[in-house]
Amino acid sequence: MMNEIKIFCPATIANLNCGFDVLGLCLEGIGDEMVFRKVPEKGVRITQITGADLPMETHKNVAGVAALALVDAVNPDFGFEIEIHKKIRAGSGIGSSSASAAGAVFGINELLGRPYSKHQLVDFAMKGEAIASGSEHADNVAPCLLGGFTLVRGYNPLEVIRIESPADLYAIVLHPHIELKTSDSRAVLSPTIGLKEAITQWGNLGGFIAGLYTADYGLLGRSLQDVIVEPLRKRLIPHFDAVKQTALDHGALGAGISGAGPSIFALCQGESTALAIKKAMSDSYSETGILFDLHVSKINAMGTSLLSN
């Protein structure tokens, strides 16, 4: 059994317009790194955090809380040290806290000899995610762990369905350098919705899932519509409408708010289209004076994974 490992915890896009709190995808090339060590003393200790100002106290840290949930369930006669190297900005809307929570349970599980499957680890990761967002939800931690697309069919009991991505699907993500807390984004939502909007939304979600299984890019694009959450949240993101329209004008299947924002995502077919959309979004947002990052990514099929030391 290994005594030390290093892992990659990828960024994710949740909601995807039509799938609020139930749908997510895993990104390639964007993510955190974490190091785990077995130590004689029982418990979980965070020994180093780089790239972000986060609590070192285990019970206050997203990764620490998730790790403790798993360790408490197994109760091994040894403990763990964790290093967290953040490369996903907090509050970016591409699963920063989820990467920490998912990475924590993946790493601990590896050093325990894999007593749990990746699907089973989602439940433990949700405990950590609740520290960041105020509620246990799996739309980011599930794709981070499992890769591909994930659909949370239900929480009681938890049921997560992993779906392979169509081969030529690309994601473009624009992250403005402003922080938007998930709790603030949730505060603007309405507790009730109209029947007409609900029918439209669940039709789009069903269409999107069908489009994934059949690799029907046109159907995916027609289904990437949000009539419930986006109208309320988009005012929190500077120049959202202009950037979304730019992406659509340059060939995006659809575009919307990544997670709780402020990142804006677009999906498209083909790398050349993705690069054209990236340039157009960059040119458009450069005029705002707000600093930003831009990423182009295929859909990551692996999810959280081991790195060679």
The question of whether 182 is a catalytic residue gets the answer yes
Measured between alpha carbons, how far is 224 from 109 in angstroms, rounded to an integer?
A: 35
Instruction: Name residues whose C-beta falls within 8 Å of residue 101's C-beta, 6 or more positions apart in sequence.
Output: 62, 63, 65, 66, 125, 126, 127, 128, 129, 132, 141
Active-site entry in 12, 129, 230, 273: 129
Active-site entry in 182, 246, 273, 304: 182
The question of whether 110 is a catalytic residue gets the answer no
Active site residues: 129, 182
